[in-house]
């Protein structure tokens, strides 16, 4: 079965700093990958997803992620974070029809 690793459990940044959150999945083949964000008290929202084509995926709110097949990775990036990006971020991989999530990364952005 697939598994997802997110190595950064808690990240603290100042506004305007660049962000990169790591995500690795366990085995290859055709994969569908997702990044979700959970703002405090809110439901999970899709930031971006990859299913085929260009390995550099653009998402909402200035986020992007790069699928690197050889590294089994799908890292999330943002060049300049804002205070409003403070949230929990989850990477997920689709296995059959269900999503398998990583443990999440808590991002705190200070003004």
Secondary structure class of 42 (helix, strand, coil): coil
Is residue 94 part of the contact set for other proteins (CB under 8 A)? yes
CB of 99 to other proteins, least distance (A): 6
Is residue 46 part of the contact set for other proteins (CB under 8 A)? yes
Which among 6, 20, 32 has a CA at the least distance from the CA of 90?
6
Is residue 36 part of the contact set for other proteins (CB under 8 A)? yes
CA Rg value for the chain: 13
Nearer to other proteins, 14 or 45 (CB): 45
Nearer to other proteins, 53 or 111 (CB): 53
Pairing of the two strands 64-68 and 87-95 = unpaired
């Amino acid at each position: 079965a697939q598994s997802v690793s997110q190595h950064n459990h808690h990240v603290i940044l100042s506004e305007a700093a660049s962000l990169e959150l790591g995500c690795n999945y366990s085995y290859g083949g055709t994969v569908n990958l997702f990044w979700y964000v959970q703002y405090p008290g809110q439901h999970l929202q899709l930031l971006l997803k990859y299913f085929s084509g260009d390995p550099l995926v653009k998402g909402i709110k200035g986020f992007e992620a790069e699928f690197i097949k050889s590294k089994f990775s799908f890292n999330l990036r943002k060049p300049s974070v804002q205070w409003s990006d403070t949230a929990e971020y989850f990477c997920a991989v689709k296995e059959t029809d269900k999503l398998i999530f990583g443990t999440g990364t808590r991002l705190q952005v200070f003004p």
